[in-house]
Structure 1
Amino acid sequence: MKQQKHPNKRRFEMPDTYVILFLVLVATAIATYFVPAGAFEREQVDGVERVVSGTYESTAQDPVGFMDVFMALQTGMVESAGLIFLVLFAGGMFEVVERSGAITGGIMSAVDKMRGREFLLIAVISILFALGGATGAVANSVIPFVAIGVMLARALKLDAIVAVSITFGATFIGFAAGFLNPYTVGIAHAIAELPLFSGMLFRVIAFILLVGVTIWYTWVYAKRIMRDPSRSLMGILEDEGDMVEMKDAPFTLRHKLILAWVAAALAFFVFAVIQFQWTTNHMAAFFIIIGLVAGIIAGMNYNKLTLTFLEGCKNLVYGALIIGVARAVLVVMEQANILDTIVNALSVPLGALTPVLAAIGMFIANTVFNFFVPSGSGQAAIIMPIQTPLADMIGVTRQVAVQSFQFGDGFSNSIFPTSGPLMASLAVAGVPWIKWAKWLLPLFLIWSVIAMSVLAIGVWINWGPL
């Protein structure tokens, strides 16, 4: 009789993002005892504080203590309160809109109207989800919508990879461009002291390029399967009797009014940002207004509307509080005066590069970092305080620095197995990560080439606030 070996042996489990961030916080606290303290001189340029290159000087060492580490968590939450509530209120607003059935009904209406026109159908669904990602309307919440992709792929005799591509894939490539995304560009702009959602036209152009090539890549694969089903990496989806309940989702006049109101409200917000210089605080407040009006149009009574909004806030507590924990790392670095030392150290290798290569280096560094912190808002809170003064010193505009973060975060969320939304979406569609990565890798490389080109052009045109 063979004995079972190592019956209690546990498989390695990837640490949660909060665990990783806390370890980073502890490591940063330890580093304050070894990393020299120092500071740059700073100056006000057009109302924005900038680092003065070449003015770094050493200062007295001031390492943090045991209690300071935990106090930093509290301070980080308080200093990030505006951004945290922006994320929470966005979640509440989108939950009201989603619970009304308007999003599901609108997508299913598009599916019904374009049956038989495969390319147009794939393009329209992909664009809808990409716009959802670009505006922050759909991000982690895309997971249940992958079922729509599965249903569509089944109807077209395609495979589950196509289902994931037109829903999750489209959402996160839109998220990477993020021209109106409060979770990435909104937070990054606040930290970089740039006008909220400035530089939108250039980001819209990048969005069109990225989404266009994604639709093309998906369609080439889909057409190949239509011609020869054996060329599918997964095998085509067979018809089943238990079609997803979303198939019968209605799309009423009320739903159309809700979507029209949300679109008009977001368009007005863009106008207000440009015309009235609205900030992230205005956007957080405006999300409450959008949610209230959407709930009233949906016919929700005051109790249901309130509870639905709070449910949406609750769903994003995990993502929102990451901002505060990430901020705690910055609090420790600032308290011990080692932030400028790190910036100065990074500026040496990047400063030896041309601004174009430095911007590309930022993009690559953000991509690698996202493996460990797969959270757009959390990564923005950690990276942008370092990348902002660094950009000032190496001749890269802050707008380019923000976009290098967005690309690095957004692209890798679509392929790194540490991305929770990716792994959950693959589970819904029944796609093994290995097969998804094999299919996506060529597209990922195409995205990266486009990103590097966009960043290079941004440097050449001196892409600024507007």
Structure 2
Amino acid sequence: MTHLHTEQAASPAAASDKGQSPYLLLFIILVLSAVATWLIPAGVYDYETREGIKFAVKGSLHAVAQSGVYPLEIFMAIVQGMVKQAPIIFLILFTGGVLAVIERTGAIATALNSLSRSTRLSDARIVIIFAVIFALLGTTGVVVNAVVAFVPIGLLVARSMGLSPMLGAALVYLTCAAGFNVAILNPATTGLTQHLAQLPLFSGMLLRGLTCLLFVLTAVIYLIWSIRRTRQQGMLRPSQPPEESDTLQVTGRHTLILGTTALALVLFIAGTVKFHWGTNEMSAMFILLTIIVGLLGRISGSEIANTFLAGCAKLVKGAFIVGMAAAISLVLQQGNVLDPIVGFLSDLLAPVPTHAATIGMFISAALIHFGISSGSGESALLIPIFSPLGDNLGLTRQVMVQAVLLGEGIVNCMSPTSGVLMAVLATAGVPYGKWLRFVAPVIAIWFVICVVMLLIGVAIKWGPF
């Protein structure tokens, strides 16, 4: 979950600050893009509009006068990128705000703490319950940065079951990643990427949902198998769990808050299908949900406002990356070199079968994600190139979106540049090499699932567009 970022725990903030800043990398690419506008011969495609979407006319690329971008225009492009992507930037910020208020009520943490004290559940049932909860929280974007805060609960459950800290961390992080990496209803990943590709918000949910289900099943089966293997090695479950001072109980108020949040998501799904709701409607729904949840949690008006703003502040870094990355495509467009780049790639890939080209884009997105750890920033960088490229190659934009999303997702659980993964491992006291060996089989299976689902998308011409 790379847009994101206990005794041996390093602070999450410190962990996320290590390594190269994605802003610096994007700025370097932005400067190089401006230089490219003076070196690459300018050209443009003719465009046609179908169902409100602009498509490049294949074979219509023609030369135009060179229009290089000057140094001062680079900084104007950053501002213009922020303005252009304002709807999705505010949606990301409001997502952080509403989640902060939900967390402030204690509903999620209390429910998970109650589960951790249970002594009546089998190993398999506990894994399934964690998978259902955290996969849903991950695939909807409810838990992103905050996944680190729930790792201690996974460690508590693992200790009560006589399991290693690594399995405790995996109960939370791996199951959350299984949902987040496909992100059926996450506005900051799928919503953003579809917005950039001019696709209806959260369209193509059936195939994406099936992919997510396969991801989650893989994680569940692997965790159950791993626990059974540790049992065979002599790590038995204690007859009595360790006593904990935390005695919080799930109340009717907590249940009502969680139910209201789930209902809001269901209503929004219905609205996208029936009324074609988009980013603006979802932002408005998040504001309304913030107020309702805050009142249900008996939070004062001032506390609701302050908590909401504090939650927004946590996602400013990720939200602004969207505008920064958008500036790159604006510079390439202003210099009329984006279309020639697309044309060059199209000619290069023309002899390649469409299914092979799709897998190539998926793998390239995965490799780029090691350098650009922000998924939103990577999407904003790649989609302006991949969308017209896919048009020229006869691939649907839905397939292009999925190739980028899965390429980003497949890397999340193993990338050493992920602040969140490093914070999770620090919290659990698990060495990176040991974690990599543990999670490698899951990532290998996920890779196969990604390839198969993308090939299915190509075969059925997965739409719309």
Whether these two folds match at TM > 0.5 is yes
| Structure 1: runs of 5 or more not aligned | 1-12
| Structure 2: runs of 5 or more not aligned | 1-17
What's the C-alpha RMSD, in Å, of the aligned pairs? 1.9
Higher alpha-carbon deviation: 112-121 or 309-318: 112-121
How many equivalent residue pairs?
Answer: 447
Structure 1 position 258, deviation (Å): 0.4
Where has structure 1 moved over 4 Å in runs of 4 or more? Answer: 239-243
> Which residue of 2 is the match for residue 167 of structure 1?
172
Structure 1 position 97, deviation (Å): 0.5
Structure 1 position 114, deviation (Å): 6.1
Distance in 2 (alpha carbons) for counterparts of 1:109 and 1:356? 47
Structure 1 position 23, deviation (Å): 1.2
Q: Does 1:22 align with 2:27?
A: yes
Q: Does 1:384 align with 2:383?
A: yes
Structure 1 position 58, deviation (Å): 2.0
Structure 1 position 367, deviation (Å): 0.2
- Secondary structure (helix, strand or coil) at the match of 1:249 reads coil
Distance in 1 (alpha carbons) for counterparts of 2:107 and 2:39? 55
Residue 351 to residue 170, structure 1, CA distance change in 2 (3 Å):
farther
Counterpart residue identity of residue 459, structure 1: V
> Which residue of 2 is the match for residue 428 of structure 1?
427
Higher relative contact order (CA 8 A, sep 6+): 2
Q: Does 1:419 align with 2:418?
A: yes
Residue 56 to residue 114, structure 1, CA distance change in 2 (3 Å):
farther
Is contact 1:104–1:249 with CA below 8 Å preserved after alignment?
no
- Secondary structure (helix, strand or coil) at the match of 2:265 reads helix
Structure 1 position 14, deviation (Å): 2.7
Alignment of 1:154-303 (within 5 A): 154-229=159-234, 247-303=246-302
Q: Does 1:64 align with 2:63?
A: no
Structure 1 position 151, deviation (Å): 0.8
Alignment of 1:301-380 (within 5 A): 301-380=300-379
Residue 148 to residue 35, structure 1, CA distance change in 2 (3 Å):
same
> Which residue of 2 is the match for residue 86 of structure 1?
91
> Which residue of 2 is the match for residue 46 of structure 1?
51
- Secondary structure (helix, strand or coil) at the match of 1:43 reads strand
Distance in 2 (alpha carbons) for counterparts of 1:79 and 1:282? 18
> Which residue of 1 is the match for residue 4 of structure 2?
none
Distance in 1 (alpha carbons) for counterparts of 2:241 and 2:157? 12
Distance in 1 (alpha carbons) for counterparts of 2:177 and 2:81? 28
TM-score, structure 1 as length reference:
0.92
Residue 229 to residue 50, structure 1, CA distance change in 2 (3 Å):
farther
1:196-244 deviations in whole A, cap 9, x for unaligned?
10111111111111100111112111111122158x9xxx99x99795x
Q: Percent identity?
A: 39
Residue 77 to residue 454, structure 1, CA distance change in 2 (3 Å):
same
Is contact 1:291–1:309 with CA below 8 Å preserved after alignment?
yes
Structure 1 position 348, deviation (Å): 2.2
Structure 1 position 116, deviation (Å): 3.9
Q: Does 1:75 align with 2:74?
A: no
Is contact 1:114–1:120 with CA below 8 Å preserved after alignment?
no
TM-score, structure 2 as length reference:
0.92
Residue 242 to residue 113, structure 1, CA distance change in 2 (3 Å):
closer
Distance in 1 (alpha carbons) for counterparts of 2:247 and 2:364? 45
Distance in 2 (alpha carbons) for counterparts of 1:112 and 1:348? 60
1:387-429 deviations in whole A, cap 9, x for unaligned?
1111111111111111111111112111110111111111111
Distance in 1 (alpha carbons) for counterparts of 2:33 and 2:171? 40
